[in-house]
Chains A and B, each alone.
Chain A
């Protein structure tokens, strides 16, 4: 006789379940995004050659703009969710926790919006 796989009614996913899964999926996605970014900027191009002209050239391609947008959104959301989990451990009051959640969400939204504005509106023609 072997071990049988049993299927049970799984609990309804709540915010913590989803955020835990998000951390895993975003981490997997960040591996190619971050390493691709590092290799390109630091090794192939080199940090001393990155200037406004280089940025303009890079962002002339919609593909790189999507790449950078994904990197910003996922890396920052991954980081902010990590901070949220650490703070959750130390904040005992539900009310303070709620304020912290909203504060972090606003922080994520504002920084991502600034990045998105740069990505969408900050692109100038290559000089």
Chain B
């Protein structure tokens, strides 16, 4: 099929202002948007910059705005966009470094602020082996273990667009993963961070994050559960 691809371009070293380049090209409807970008680099413009790594929806490198919605370029087929006009832009709310590449540092700073790692300084069980957990206890936080840190959620959040100090949905999802882990003991510390001005209370339940998540995590629900724990002190 014939498509018209419009791509946001910004190459700071050229001194040119940000603009859009348009490419008319023949693609297979089963091509992914990432394949289309690769085709542009191969055939038209090798200077086009974007992040990619695994190209199979696992590494979370290629989150970008495709026809106005945050998606992973490697998970979206051209035919599923239901349009021959495709606009590709960098994710919003983070500084654009070049073309579709944004500065992810603020995103990862927020991620680090919620202690996204397992904490348990209690002595090991008597047998000296693993800390056991029932399937039900594991199931409790299964959804939030699926996060691949692509930033599609955080950069679709209007509260984050307005104020980059907000920790954002991805950081809260990763805090949720450990707060609800029955073996973890640092929930109170994480909740202190999330109770600050820039924490969970900035969530306005717009549901953009849930819609944007390429892993189908119920993000707004996870945020609501964290708010509930802050309010009640009970992890259920």
- Residues of chain A at the chain B interface (Cβ within 8 Å): 1-11, 14, 16-17, 19-21, 85, 88-90, 92
Contacts of B199 in A (CB 8 A): 16
CB of A11 within 8 A of CB of B234, answer: no
Best-surrounded residue of A1, A6, A85 (most CB of chain B within 10 A) = A6
Stretch at the interface among B77-85, B133-141, B211-219: B133-141
The answer to the question of B151 belonging to the interface, with a C-beta cut-off of 8 Å to chain A, is no
Contacts of A21 in B (CB 8 A): 231
- Residues of chain B at the chain A interface (Cβ within 8 Å): 134, 136-137, 140, 158-159, 162-163, 165-166, 182, 187-188, 191-192, 195-197, 199, 201-202, 204, 227, 229-236
23 A-B pairs, CB-CB below 8 angstroms?
Answer: A2-B134, A2-B136, A3-B134, A3-B236, A4-B137, A5-B234, A7-B233, A7-B235, A8-B191, A10-B188, A10-B230, A10-B231, A11-B195, A11-B230, A14-B195, A16-B195, A19-B201, A85-B204, A88-B163, A88-B202, A89-B159, A89-B163, A92-B165
Cβ-neighbour of B137 out of A3, A19, A92 (below 8 A)? A3
Contacts of B201 in A (CB 8 A): 16-17, 19-20
Closest Cβ of chain A: how far from B196's Cβ, in Å?
Answer: 8
Residue of B with least CB distance to A87: B162
Closest Cβ of chain A: how far from B146's Cβ, in Å?
Answer: 19
Residue of A with least CB distance to B164: A92
A-B contact count (CB 8 A): 73
Apart from A2-B136, A11-B230, list 4 A-B contacts with CB within 8 A. A3-B137, A7-B233, A11-B188, A88-B163
Closest Cβ of chain A: how far from B38's Cβ, in Å?
Answer: 38
CB of A8 within 8 A of CB of B136, answer: no
CB of A17 within 8 A of CB of B235, answer: no
Contacts of A85 in B (CB 8 A): 204
Contacts of B165 in A (CB 8 A): 92
Residue of A with least CB distance to B194: A11
Closest Cβ of chain A: how far from B199's Cβ, in Å?
Answer: 8
In the docked arrangement, what's the CA distance between A7 and B235, Å?
6
In the docked arrangement, what's the CA distance between A58 and B190, Å?
52
* Nearest 10 CB-CB pairings of A with B: A10-B233, A1-B134, A89-B162, A11-B195, A16-B201, A6-B235, A5-B236, A20-B201, A89-B163, A3-B136
Residue of A with least CB distance to B137: A3
Closest Cβ of chain A: how far from B112's Cβ, in Å?
Answer: 19
In the docked arrangement, what's the CA distance between A11 and B157, Å?
25
